[in-house]
Amino acid sequence: MNKYIDYESAMYSRFFGLNPIEVLGQSNCTNYYYKRYLYNKIYSCFDFKLLNNWELNTFRFALFHFGSVAIFKRNGGWSMGFWSPKEWNANYNPKKIYCRLFFEEKGSETKEVYEVGKDAFIVKIFDDYMGFDDLVKSTSELLANCERTMNVALMNANVNLYATVKDPKDKEEIDNAYAEATNGKPLVYVDKEKTKDLKENEDILKPFTNHDTISALDRILTCRRTIVNNFLTEIGIKNANTNKKERLISDEVNQNNEEVSANVTIAYDNMKKTFDEFNKVSNLTQKISVDLHYDYEEENDLTISEGGVLDV
C-alpha cells in the first residue's frame, strides 16, 4: 500500500493528466501523438521488400529513428540489428563492427567482429549515419505548441466576458440570465434598470480582454499548416499551397518538387546502394529492395497535403 510510484507509473499518470497551459517540452501526450504522426509520414515515402524473417516495423523504426541498421551473418543466416564500430577505414567509415540483435537478451551478446562489405552491411539514411529523430522532435514540439495555444484560446473564448453589478442581487440576476441564454433559451428577460444607462449598441456583457479568438485560431491553423508543409518538403513529400486565392503557379510547384527530390534521393540512394551490395554478396534467391513511394520524375505526381502559408 505504501509502495513508491515508479518512473513508468508517474509518466503514465502525467500522460493523461495534462492541461492546455502546461508546457513540458517533449514529455507530454500531444508531443508523443505528433511524433507518431510525423514518423508515419516518413514511413510512407519508402516501400521496402525484406527477407521473410525480418519484421518491417522493427526495421523501419530502428532505421529512421537511429539512422542506420546493421545486416550481418550469424548462425548460417542473415540477421538485422544494432551495430557499434570496432575499426575505421581511411575515409572514416566503419570497416569492422560489432553487431547484436535488436532484442538480444542481456549477457548473450557475441563479441564477434564483422567486416563491412563481406559478412556485414550498414543500411544508413544519411552520410553521417544519423536519422530523422532531430527533425521529428523539433517539428512535433512546434505542432504541439500550436495545439496548446489553440486550446488556451478556446478556453479564453468561454470566459472573457464581464458585467458591472452594484450588489449580490444584481450579480445573481446577470448569472441567471447568462445561464439561460447560453443554454439555448430563445428569450431572456433582464430588469430594465440594468440597461437604462447603456449607450447605443452597447452590450450588458463586455469582453474582459481584447482577444480576437477567431482571428487568433485562424492564424495558428495557418502557422500549423506551414510547419507541416515544411516538414513534408524535408522528408520528400511534395506539397503546394492550396489555400492561395490566386491560381497555383507552376513555377512554385516545380521549385517545391526540386527541393523535395533533392532531399529524398539522398536517403534513397544510400539505402539502395547497401541493398544492392548485400544482394550481390549474399547471393540469396530472395532479394531485398527499397523503392520510392512517390514518382519524382512525374510533374503531375503532386501530393496536396494540408497546404497553407503563414500570412501575418
**Does 106 lie in the same domain as 51?**
yes
Q: What is the mean pLDDT of residues 205-221?
A: 73
**Does 171 lie in the same domain as 94?**
no
Would the pTM of this model clear 0.95, i.e. be above it?
no
Q: Residue 2: inside a domain, yes or no? A: no
* pLDDT bracket for residue 302 (50, 70, 90): very low
**Does 121 lie in the same domain as 189?**
no
Residue type, 134: D
Q: How far apart are the first and last CA of the chain?
A: 56
**Does 124 lie in the same domain as 167?**
no
* pLDDT bracket for residue 89 (50, 70, 90): very high
Last residue of a domain, one of 173, 188, 208: 208
pLDDT in tens, 162-199: 777 778 888 888 888 888 877 877 877 777 776 666 55
pLDDT at res. 64: 94
**Does 120 lie in the same domain as 177?**
no
Q: Residue 184: inside a domain, yes or no? A: yes
Q: What is the mean pLDDT of residues 11-32?
A: 58
| Residue of 60 and 214 predicted with greater confidence | 60
**Does 127 lie in the same domain as 59?**
yes
User: How large a percentage of the chain has pLDDT more than 90?
Assistant: 38
| Residue of 267 and 8 predicted with greater confidence | 267
Nine cell digits for residue 1: 500500500
Q: Mapping DSSP to helix (H, G, I), strand (E, B) and coil, where does residue 48 land?
A: strand
Q: Residue 96: inside a domain, yes or no? A: yes
* Contact call for residues 29 and 15 (beta carbons, < 8 A): yes
pLDDT in tens, 48-63: 999 998 999 999 999 9
What b/e readout covers 94-128, taking b as 16+ CB neighbours within 10 angstroms?
Answer: beebbbbbeeeeeeeeeeeebebeebbbbbbbeee
**Does 91 lie in the same domain as 51?**
yes
**Does 61 lie in the same domain as 204?**
no
Is the pLDDT score of 39 beyond 90?
yes
| Residue of 39 and 309 predicted with greater confidence | 39
Query: Parallel, antiparallel, or unpaired: how do β-strands 113-115 and 94-101 relate?
Result: antiparallel
Q: Residue 81: inside a domain, yes or no? A: yes
Reported as type and span, the H/E element at residue 96 is strand 94-101
**Does 48 lie in the same domain as 113?**
yes
CATH number of the domain where residue 116 is located: 2.40.500.10
Q: How many CB atoms lie within 10 A of CB 23?
A: 12
Q: Residue 281: inside a domain, yes or no? A: yes
**Does 112 lie in the same domain as 71?**
yes
Q: Residue 201: inside a domain, yes or no? A: yes
**Does 128 lie in the same domain as 51?**
yes
**Per-chain mean pLDDT for the chain:** 77
pLDDT in tens, 133-159: 989 999 999 999 898 888 877 777 666
* pLDDT bracket for residue 29 (50, 70, 90): confident
pLDDT at res. 169: 82
pLDDT in tens, 275-287: 999 999 998 999 9
Last residue of a domain, one of 172, 193, 208: 208
Q: Residue 280: inside a domain, yes or no? A: yes
Q: What is the mean pLDDT of residues 129-136?
A: 91
pLDDT at res. 48: 95
The domain containing residue 68 runs over which residues?
42-132+265-292
Number of domains in the chain: 2
Q: Residue 214: inside a domain, yes or no? A: no
**Does 169 lie in the same domain as 109?**
no
